[in-house]
Structure 1
Amino acid sequence: MLRSMYSGISGLKSFQTKLDVIGNNIANVNTYGFKKGRVTFKDAMSQTISGAVAAQGNRGGMNPKQVGLGTEIATIDSIHTEASMQSTGRSLDLAINGDGYFVFKDGDQYLFSRAGNLYLDEFGTMVNADGYKVQAFDMDGNLGDVIVNVNATLPAVATQSIGISGNLSSNAVDGFVYSQQFEVVDSNGKTNRIDIYFEKANGNEWTVYFTNPDTFDSTTDPHMVIQYDGNGNITQVISMTDNGSGTLTSSTNTFNPGDSVSVTQAITVDGNNVNYSLNLDQLTFQQGSNDATILPDGNTEGQLLSFNIGPTGEINGIYSNGLIATLGYLAVAKFSNPSGLQSVGGNLFQSSVNSGAANIGYAGDGRGSILSERLEMSNVDLSEEFTEMIVAQRGFQANTRIITTSDEILQELVNLKR
């Protein structure tokens, strides 16, 4: 039989595979996170009629004589280029801007995808469309499922530390009083409002009252004295503490420039003296206005109102008490050779021996950032696919012509016997 006929058959098979891949690309032109395929060819084996001959004496060398025996598939590549993003306005629609893949778990197997259309199941577990569980790091760095409990309650935390920052004016006149208000949380989760008064005393000294100076009783009401040097550095703080029986004890704390200024100070809360740690590192004494602010820690009880996902994959719970608590960080996987990933359907990939092991970490840490309320589109370009389809179609037709021409030649050979 003619070699050309079998070469034509190999071409038909190769171009049929190319058309199959193109058809799959076009079918998934609107599939979120889809990565297109590409077929490349290589020539098959060649039959050597005569080998190369080296130059000898007065004769030059001769090239080898070979007849090719058709074509075959060299590669079917998965092209993992980033596609454009579609805005959806849905908080659980996510895209990765840059390298990386979302991590899902099916039993003991990890799966990976660029499609970030996520959902919550009946238990608040974050899953993809097929129910595979999204993986994230908890606050201790452990990888596991993401659970967003819509009935979660953030417990009350009593205030223990109070930061005082801002400026106390060095050009204020003696006797000037600057007041502020802040709230502390007691051990029962109840908030109490505290009035604080800063009174300019003698030159570089301020007295801090936790009740109105006009009704202040030095024997029962706690107060604090802050002394500065000429450069605006705190040199001494006279604070008061409660020994547990309601009796106030005064203590003098001395500081050098550059020291961390922290003291224990008693404050009357709901009729009782409570000791708090006061941090005065950021309380300056300079010319200008008085703008000292009070920042206590602690919080009241709060219910989860909503949540959102930030650029580094942080899952932020927003609570009714005004606090935002991080519930975890979405995991993002990176591979040495993304094209080596093996598709398992459902917009999912699994690692292979040639993709390299999954390097799972945090978004933005050598990986792409998370875009909320967006989905990555398919990276299929229809104009390119239709052009490749025409090329494949013409190649297929040309190979059929090779077969029909070979058949005609065989027919002529058979007719020689007539």
Structure 2
Amino acid sequence: MIRSMYSGISGLRNFQTKLDVIGNNIANVNTYGFKKGRTIFKDQFSQTVAGASAPGENRGGVNAKQVGLGSQLSAIDTIHAPGSTQFTGNTLDLAIEGDGFFMVGTGDDMFYTRAGNFYLDNAGDLVDGDGSYLQGLTSPINIPSNATNMSIAQDGKVTYVQDSNLVEAGQLQLARFPNPGGLEKVGGNYFQVSPNSGDPVPGDPQGAGGHGAIKSGSLEMSNVDLAEEFTEMIVAQRGFQANTRIITTSDEILQELVNLKR
């Protein structure tokens, strides 16, 4: 009975974690560039009551008899499937069609994001909502105050018109990773490099390195599917309830054992 109670407790913990991940996904359903999480479980080690035996001359083999001791968390994956693209008409709203991340920050403190809502600060530099510089071959990318008709091409070239001349302000760069799922979320729509993500591989959009194309005037939406999240929430809720029944049923059986002495 004690084993079944602890198995139920392990299930409660895991389903609570799953509900936490689902709650975060739903909270970010309208967050630009957000990548949803997925919770995966695995069984814990099992206690072997009787070992397996090989077949002999006069009898067949016998399988092992094992009692599982609950479940444990296997992984919380970040799903980097692309979100849908929303047209905004704003030149500084950028979406990535394909692989890659925008690089923001400085050379000493670099972050990576799929959220492409950028702005011009008072000095004319391209920045994100937190004031981090959008990185290019030469950073920061600066647009003079008297410039007109600014545009950002699919290959990342930033141009503007000044004194009747189509001037190149800079070349945006995207970063790819050997294992994007290994990137760590650090808040603010940012990812950072981890020991398992691999080093960033910068390159031009639509270049030979397999980096995606830039789509100006659009933003990538969250890849959270509300219907899927609500379905997973129901599964997690029922799983949580079932594990509470394991605990209460085991407690009732233990109570009957205690009452035997009366």
TM-score after normalising by structure 1: 0.61
Q: Tell me the SS of whatever aligns to 1:67.
A: strand
Partner of 2:49: 49
Other-structure match for 1:13: 13
**Structure 2 CA distance, aligned partners of 1:401 and 1:305?**
67
Structure 1 residue 416 displacement after superposition: 1.1
Matched ranges for 1:248-397 at <5 A: 304-321=147-164, 323-365=165-207, 366-397=210-241
CA–CA separation in structure 2 for the residues paired with 1:342 and 1:387: 26
d(CA) in 1 for partners of 2:141, 2:72: 46
State the secondary structure of the residue aligned to 2:206: coil
For the aligned residues, what is the CA RMSD? 1.1
* Larger relative contact order (Cα-Cα within 8 Å, sequence gap ≥ 6): 2
Where does the alignment leave 5 or more consecutive residues of structure 2 unmatched?
none
Partner of 1:232: none
Q: For residue 34 of structure 1, what is the aligned residue in structure 2?
A: 34
Structure 1: stretches of 5+ with no match in the other structure: 139-143, 152-303
Letter in 2 for 1:318: V
Counterpart in the other structure of 1:89: 89
Structure 2 partner of 1:403: 247
Match of 2:144 in 1: 149
Deviation readout 1:311-339 (Å, 9 max, x if unpaired): 00100111232x21111111100011111
Distance 2:103 2:159 in 1: 19
Query: 1:107 offset after TM fit, Å?
Result: 6.5
* Residue deviations 1:333-371 (CA, integer Å, cap 9, x gap): 001111111000011100111111000111001211000
- Looking at structure 2, the residues matched to 70 and 7 of structure 1 have their Cα atoms a distance apart, in angstroms, of 4
Q: CA deviation at 1:150?
A: 1.6
**Who is 1:277 aligned against?**
none
* Aligned mates of 2:64, 2:257 — CA distance in 1: 29
Q: Distance in 1 between matches of 2:239 and 2:223?
A: 25
How far residue 413 of structure 1 moved from its aligned partner, in angstroms, is: 1.0
Superposition deviation, residue 137 in structure 1: 1.2
Q: Which amino acid aligns with 1:31?
A: T
Distance 2:75 2:22 in 1: 14
**TM-score calculated relative to the size of structure 2:** 0.97
- Alpha-carbon distance in 2 for matches of 1:53, 1:305: 82
- The amino acid of 2:219's aligned partner reads L
Rg (Cα) greater in structure: 1
Which of the pair is proportionally richer in strand? 1
Higher-helix-fraction structure: 2
Give, in whole Å, the separation in 1 of the partners of 2:202 and 2:109.
Answer: 14
Work out the CA distance in 2 between the residues paired with 1:64 and 1:344: 46
